[in-house]
Amino acid sequence: MIQVQVTYKVKADRVAENEELVRAVYRELHEIDHPGVHYSTFKKEDGQTFVHLAFFPTAEDQAVLSSSEAFKAFQVGLGDRCEIPPDPQPLEWIGSYNFSHPGG
């Protein structure tokens, strides 16, 4: 199982752009509808810091996300959009309860 959290802070004038690029990723993932991709994005209270959580049973499942056109478009210029660059951190699963967002 591959589990990762990526946190970064976007420049204030690039937040809307980043949000739209992230939403495009979700639109494409809904079209792909691959059961091995578990992906969520959150924006912190400061309005600029984003947290992405990703869970994949296999590297092949992870490749579904990383090879999607919308995800590639999101990656383009990410460093330039950021005030604090992405910091990917592997996660070790301990447990969860009813972990899903009602908005889907």
- What tens digit of pLDDT does each residue of 52-97 get? 999 999 999 999 999 999 999 999 999 999 999 999 999 998 888 8
Query: pLDDT of 22-41, one tens digit each?
Result: 999 999 999 999 999 999 99
Q: What is the DSSP letter of 76?
A: T
Question: What's the rounded Cα separation, in Å, for the pair 63 and 9?
Answer: 25
Joined together, the tokens standing for residue 21 give 């690029």
Question: What's the rounded Cα separation, in Å, for the pair 49 and 12?
Answer: 10
CATH code at 2-90: 3.30.70.100
**103, amino acid identity:** G
Distance of CA 50 to the CA centre of its chain: 9
Question: What's the rounded Cα separation, in Å, for the pair 33 and 27?
Answer: 10
Joined together, the tokens standing for residue 55 give 């869970």
